[in-house]
Amino acid sequence: MKIFKGVYVALAVVACLGGAPALAGPAQDDRSEVLANWYRMILELVRHTPTQTPPVASRSFAYTAIIAYEATASGAPELQTLAGQLVWLDPLPVREAGVDYADDVVLNAAMARAVDVYFANTGPTGQRAKAALYKQLEGKVGAGVAADVLARSAAYGTAVADHVIAASEDDGGAVIENMGFPMTHTLGGEPQDWVPTNLIRLQQAPLLPAWGTNRPMVLPSGEACPLPPPPAYSEEPGSEFHAQAMEVYETSRALTDEQKRIARFWSDDPMLSPTPPGHWVAILFQIAARDQRPVEAQVDALVRLGIAVSDGFIVNWRDKYRYDLLRPITYIRRVIDPAWEPLLNTPPFPEYPSGHSTQSGAVAQVLTAVFGEGFAFTDSTHVDDGLAPRDFPDFWTAAREAGISRLYGGIHFRAAIDLGLEQGACVGDFVNGLKTWK
Amino acid sequence: MTRGRGLLMICAALAAGPVRAEDPAIATFAEETEAAGFAHSFTGEWEFMVGGGTAVFDCSGDGRPDVFAAGGTAPGQMFRNDSETGGALRLTPVESGLEQEAVSGAYPIDIDGDGVIDVALLRVGPDRLMRGLGECRFEDASAAWGFDGLDLWSTAFAATWEAGQDWPTLAVGTYIDRAQEAFPWGNCTPNHLYRPAGGGGFAAPLPLEPGFCALSILFTDWDRQGTPDLRVSNDREYYKGGQEQLWRIEPGQPPVAFTEADGWQRLRIWGMGIAQEDITFDGFPEFYLTSMADNKLQTLAEVPAEGAPKPRYRDVALKAGVTAHRPYTGDDLRPSTAWHAQFGDVNNDGLSDLFVVKGNVWEMPDFAQADPNNLLLQRADGTFLESGDRAGVASMRQGRGGALADLNMDGWLDMVVINRNEPAQVWRNMGADAGADAGRWVQVALEMPGPNRQAVGAWIEVKLADGLVQQREVTIGGGHVGGVLGWHHFGLGTAETTEVRVRWPDGTVGPWQALAADAFWTLAPGAEPVRRE
């Protein structure tokens, strides 16, 4: 099954469209198939749409998940809406009483609209793919459905999506220009301040410096989950800062094969992967397929994950630009070894705290609440890219590995990782306060 | 080999910021598309979002480069060059047998060694090898030559003559499995190597796997070891687990991809075009790789005193001023999209300049729609000056392929650009005002006995006025789906004469031969240069 290799192996049991062979067995729940296929598409579009850097992707994952959740909840009596719990989200359109709806048609229409809007700027191949997928799914879920039910369901799904989309437009993250890099930027000028770390012209200014001012999804304010300053900058041997840099340096010079595998596994580079938040979304769908989880449970976990990563990136970015700390490559070359090369490419924005750590901590906190402690899983996200699956005994183990991977990769100091994970847990606690099941 | 002054200057710039030498004279161009009769458009939707190449070569036998333009959903079109020497451009459409549809690009090559240039047509569908019959007529010789064009989306081409072979080895790069409509990503098709079959023609294509959606490939003797390897630039939009590639192509051996253990460094870009030139005068070529937003200029990270270098490159595009990452004129400041790239000395000052064709993929809103082509003039310190707007070539059309070639045989490189879903364009180089004694040039054609008539794989060495030696490899491939075959143009500045020698593909080195400037010369092994009258 060529189209379901790698990260999508697990999805193959619930999703099969396009040029691939038909599903084995009955299509017992078309909503799961609709959801899996649209998220397969979303994960591709995140990878292939240049503006979908990790913060932007986290926002896309959040709103598409909210749409998926609300479209599903509208036909699932056991789920309750997030309107009002998310203070910026007014009550959604309600279904007309006394008439039939096809829930999978509702979901398909909602997801199609969501993907069209949040990936409106994808390239010609993405546009073509979106249209092709909608057409294929429309044919499948619409088969045998009465015309009036079909029309009503599609219109309702679209209305649900439009309602969330309208509410998202003023959150501060809707418009991305110049792929997120300011046309002008003034560097801090102090020794500890971030400076560009590569020779790419576009990245001589840092990514999305105002992202931390976006409206959060569930956090009470943009000042929630604050972090203390990083260790005081010093070039003195023996200082805390110097010691943390030496840890990165010495680790990089003695990396084991396993440490290299870990660094690359969680590298999750934009445009070359589904990004860090997409990595967790991919994990969630692998679990859903493995365990044949009902669609209501899938959207519950999905919306919590989406909100967690989105709010995680907002507070993380707030602190990145609050502290504007230089990257290890800058410090180590300045103070320790001018010829030093880290394993990974250094991302083009300030160091502290680690974005991957914050959002992974948030996800771990949320998914542990959903699935329970000690929930083991296999992560096959990067099989297509030649990276072998990794097994984890629980979500926090995976999150901590994601965090330390940044030290192995030579792009973060330890404080950014440890405190980033703590910040993520704080965000996750707020998400866990959402009530989804009645 | 010793390091040339160019690299030293760039190293200095890297350390201390760019040093601005005297800015070069700007060559000015006049667009003569309509007056020349150059009426053509490369058209098509998704399957022709890439492509649009042009092949520039002499098909009429008069020594003047003619122009073939790929048409996509429209027929390809051959234009005979009827320009008067030094006069206005005149391109006359002629019936050629190349009027085929679904053509994405084309490269000129004398496949059968008969002295008449043939054409490799790259198609969305089976590729075709078109035998030149003379008088700009061609016939499909694919079957006769045992060439299985395969039913793929072909987007790149290169050719070399492997040692001991009477027929060339062809490499064809391919793009996406176009049957994968909803999920095309991760579905790059293999590239293929066509090696000679015993007794003439080609053996069955040998897959070069994995393929990573190549948009430009080039046989290049990058390490100057005498055996070209295959450089492949890939579009990261579609591959998974991919990167730029370099294949070791040893005669009689299966191709082997260079790895990290060989020194190859992983690079992942939206690779769209390759241009090669030794702009540092150290004897090793630099590579310009086009992409979206920033483009790359690669120079070897280290050249050992003895032995071959490793394929480790530093990107010096930023310091050299050739990132060409966004429009330099107009109101649209979104990032650029670059396709064809080619080095050539457009102002005849002795330093190779850089021509880059730009154009949005297809209404991609995050990238510039009004994206002018670049004409970057090299300064003496190895940095470049953008001159496209002042030169008059800052076209905002949706460019794809292109070529620099002296169409009116006046010694100044003219310019062809193929645009997608918009008319192609041609500009006449009106020269550069650098003083009465400046702007000299020489053009050289190589002629070898045997099958490799145009001496593909040779290196031409030209002495410049300041003691530097420009070294250029004769290649077929690179660019974006099109190339130039014929006269090799070198600017000479104020030099009235120069000396030229050739390292022939078999490794023999010819003598330094004095050539008068402002003339066309044919060089052959063991023979005196012959001046074209």
Q: Do A285 and A11 meet the contact criterion of CB atoms below 8 Å apart?
A: yes
pLDDT of residue B443: 98
Instruction: Report yes or no: B261 at the A interface, CB cutoff 8 Å.
Output: no
* Among the listed residues A185, A194, A190, the one whose alpha carbon sits nearest the alpha carbon of residue A351: A194
Contact B293 A2 (CB under 8 A): no
Q: Choose from A200, A273, A385 for mutation: most chain B CBs within 10 A.
A: A200
pLDDT of residue A3: 27
Contact A178 B333 (CB under 8 A): yes
Q: What pTM was computed for the model?
A: 0.93
Contact B49 A3 (CB under 8 A): no
Could you say which of A47, A129, A201 has the minimum Cβ distance to residue B181? A129
Q: A172-194 pLDDT, tens per residue?
A: 999 999 999 999 999 999 999 99
- Is A314 contained in some domain? yes
Residues A415-422, mean pLDDT to the nearest whole number = 98
Mean pLDDT of chain B: 95
Q: Do B447 and B455 meet the contact criterion of CB atoms below 8 Å apart?
A: yes
Q: B318-366 pLDDT, tens per residue?
A: 999 999 999 999 999 899 999 999 999 999 999 999 999 999 999 899 9
Could you say which of B49, B292, B315 has the minimum Cβ distance to residue A199? B315
Contact B333 A386 (CB under 8 A): no
Burial class (CB in 10 A: 0-12, 13-18, 19+), A190: exposed
pLDDT of residue A28: 41
pLDDT of residue B363: 87
- Is A1 contained in some domain? no
User: Given a cut of 60, is residue A11 above it in pLDDT?
Assistant: no
Q: A120-152 pLDDT, tens per residue?
A: 999 999 999 999 999 999 999 999 999 999 999
> In percent, how much of chain B has pLDDT > 70?
96
Contact B362 A19 (CB under 8 A): no
By DSSP bridging, strand B245-248 and strand B229-234 are: antiparallel
Binned at pLDDT 50, 70 and 90, residue A16 comes out as: very low
Using CA atoms, how far apart are residues A380 and A280, in angstroms rounded to an integer? 11
Contacts of A183 in chain B (CB under 8 A): 333
Contacts of A386 in chain B (CB under 8 A): 241
Q: Choose from A7, A52, A108, A125 for mutation: most chain B CBs within 10 A.
A: A125
* Among the listed residues B300, B280, B276, B278, the one whose alpha carbon sits nearest the alpha carbon of residue B288: B276
pLDDT of residue A29: 56
- The answer on A368 and A221 residing in a single domain is yes
Could you say which of B182, B236, B362 has the minimum Cβ distance to residue A17? B182
Binned at pLDDT 50, 70 and 90, residue A249 comes out as: very high
By DSSP bridging, strand B338-344 and strand B66-69 are: unpaired
Could you say which of A50, A179, A199 has the minimum Cβ distance to residue B318? A199
Residues B201-230, mean pLDDT to the nearest whole number = 98
Residues B499-524, mean pLDDT to the nearest whole number = 98
Q: Choose from B180, B183, B337 for mutation: most chain A CBs within 10 A.
A: B183
Could you say which of A120, A121, A385 has the minimum Cβ distance to residue B241? A385
> Domain holding A122: CATH number?
1.10.606.20
- The answer on A201 and A153 residing in a single domain is no
- The answer on A195 and A161 residing in a single domain is no
Domain count, chain A: 2
Contact A120 B365 (CB under 8 A): yes
- The answer on A272 and A207 residing in a single domain is yes
Binned at pLDDT 50, 70 and 90, residue B492 comes out as: very high
Assign residue B302 a region: left if phi > 0, alpha if psi is -120 to 50, beta otherwise? beta
Q: Mind telling me how many Å the CA of B288 is from chain A's nearest CA?
A: 14
- The answer on A78 and A32 residing in a single domain is yes
| Token code pair at residue B462 | 């030209």
Could you say which of A124, A129, A200 has the minimum Cβ distance to residue B361? A124
- Is A175 contained in some domain? no
Could you say which of B180, B319, B361 has the minimum Cβ distance to residue A123? B361
Using CA atoms, how far apart are residues A46 and A181, in angstroms rounded to an integer? 18
Nearest CA in chain A to B14: A199
A-proximal residues of B, 332-371, CB under 8 Å: 333-335, 361-367
pLDDT of residue A2: 27
User: Given a cut of 80, is residue B388 above it in pLDDT?
Assistant: yes
Identity of the amino acid at B442:
V
- The answer on A384 and A241 residing in a single domain is yes
The CA–CA distances, whole Å, from A372 to A241, A243, A304, A368 equal 37, 37, 14, 5
Could you say which of A5, A133, A183 has the minimum Cβ distance to residue B182? A133
Quick one: CA torsion of B523, B525, B529, B532, rounded to 10 degrees? -40
Q: Do A218 and A310 meet the contact criterion of CB atoms below 8 Å apart?
A: no
Specify the residue for token string 């145009």. B454
Contacts of A202 in chain B (CB under 8 A): 293-294, 325-326, 335
Q: A226-243 pLDDT, tens per residue?
A: 999 999 999 999 999 999
Q: Mind telling me how many Å the CA of B324 is from chain A's nearest CA?
A: 9
Q: A64-97 pLDDT, tens per residue?
A: 999 999 999 999 999 999 999 999 999 999 999 9
- The number of CA neighbours under 13 Å toward the Cβ of B235 is 30
Q: Do A283 and A61 meet the contact criterion of CB atoms below 8 Å apart?
A: no
User: Given a cut of 60, is residue B10 above it in pLDDT?
Assistant: no
Could you say which of A121, A124, A385 has the minimum Cβ distance to residue B366? A121
Contact A2 B187 (CB under 8 A): yes
Burial class (CB in 10 A: 0-12, 13-18, 19+), A341: exposed
Q: Mind telling me how many Å the CA of B162 is from chain A's nearest CA?
A: 33
Q: Do B237 and B444 meet the contact criterion of CB atoms below 8 Å apart?
A: no
Contact A199 B325 (CB under 8 A): no
Residues A24-50, mean pLDDT to the nearest whole number = 84
- The answer on A142 and A63 residing in a single domain is yes
- The answer on A222 and A131 residing in a single domain is no
User: Given a cut of 60, is residue A245 above it in pLDDT?
Assistant: yes
Contacts of B186 in chain A (CB under 8 A): 5-6, 384
- The answer on A291 and A332 residing in a single domain is yes
Q: Mind telling me how many Å the CA of A437 is from chain B's nearest CA?
A: 34
Q: Mind telling me how many Å the CA of B177 is from chain A's nearest CA?
A: 11
| Token code pair at residue A388 | 């072998």
Nearest CA in chain B to A5: B186
Q: Mind telling me how many Å the CA of A361 is from chain B's nearest CA?
A: 27
- Is A398 contained in some domain? yes
| Token code pair at residue A107 | 């979901």
User: Given a cut of 50, is residue A326 above it in pLDDT?
Assistant: yes
Q: Choose from A135, A179, A201 for mutation: most chain B CBs within 10 A.
A: A201
Mean pLDDT of chain A: 93
Residues A185-209, mean pLDDT to the nearest whole number = 96
Phi, psi of B423 (to 5 degrees): -60, 140
Specify the residue for token string 């320009």. B83
User: Given a cut of 70, is residue A197 above it in pLDDT?
Assistant: yes
User: Given a cut of 80, is residue A112 above it in pLDDT?
Assistant: yes
A to B CB pairs, distance under 8 Å: 98
pLDDT of residue A306: 98
**Residue that is last in its domain, among A115, A145, A168:** A168
Contacts of A51 in chain B (CB under 8 A): 366
Contact B318 A183 (CB under 8 A): no
pLDDT of residue B467: 87
* Among the listed residues A74, A59, A267, the one whose alpha carbon sits nearest the alpha carbon of residue A168: A59
- The answer on A224 and A119 residing in a single domain is no
Contacts of B294 in chain A (CB under 8 A): 200-202
Burial class (CB in 10 A: 0-12, 13-18, 19+), B179: exposed
pLDDT of residue A229: 98
Burial per residue of B31-65, b for 16 or more beta-carbon CB atoms within 10 angstroms, e otherwise: bbbeebbbebbbebebbbbbbbbbbbbbbbeeebb
Instruction: Report yes or no: B389 at the A interface, CB cutoff 8 Å.
Output: no
User: Given a cut of 80, is residue A19 above it in pLDDT?
Assistant: no
Quick one: CA torsion of A199, A205, A211, A212, rounded to 10 degrees? 100
pLDDT of residue B465: 79
Residues B121-147, mean pLDDT to the nearest whole number = 98
Could you say which of B180, B236, B361 has the minimum Cβ distance to residue A272? B236
HEC letters along A213-249: HCCCCCCCCCCCCCCCCCCCCCCCCCCHHHHHHHHHH
Type and span of the H or E element at B256: strand B256-257
User: Given a cut of 70, is residue B20 above it in pLDDT?
Assistant: no
Contacts of A40 in chain B (CB under 8 A): 183
Residues B26-42, mean pLDDT to the nearest whole number = 98
Secondary structure (3-state) at B199: coil
pLDDT of residue B21: 52
Could you say which of A6, A136, A178 has the minimum Cβ distance to residue B335? A178
pLDDT of residue A5: 33
- Is A2 contained in some domain? no
| Token code pair at residue B342 | 């080619």
Q: B253-309 pLDDT, tens per residue?
A: 999 999 999 999 999 999 999 999 999 999 999 999 999 999 999 999 999 999 999
- CA torsion sign for B230, B236, B240, B241 is positive
pLDDT of residue B433: 87
pLDDT of residue B22: 81
Nearest CA in chain B to A123: B364
- Is A290 contained in some domain? yes
Q: Mind telling me how many Å the CA of B183 is from chain A's nearest CA?
A: 6
- The answer on A110 and A188 residing in a single domain is no
Q: Mind telling me how many Å the CA of A391 is from chain B's nearest CA?
A: 21
**Residue that is last in its domain, among A168, A202, A230:** A168
- The answer on A160 and A199 residing in a single domain is no
- Is A177 contained in some domain? no
Q: Mind telling me how many Å the CA of A383 is from chain B's nearest CA?
A: 9
Residues B205-228, mean pLDDT to the nearest whole number = 98
**Residue that is last in its domain, among A141, A168, A195:** A168
- Is A395 contained in some domain? yes
Q: B467-488 pLDDT, tens per residue?
A: 899 999 999 999 999 999 999 9
Contacts of A125 in chain B (CB under 8 A): 46, 49, 176, 184-185, 237-238
pLDDT of residue B434: 82
The whole domain housing A104 covers 7-168
pLDDT of residue A412: 98
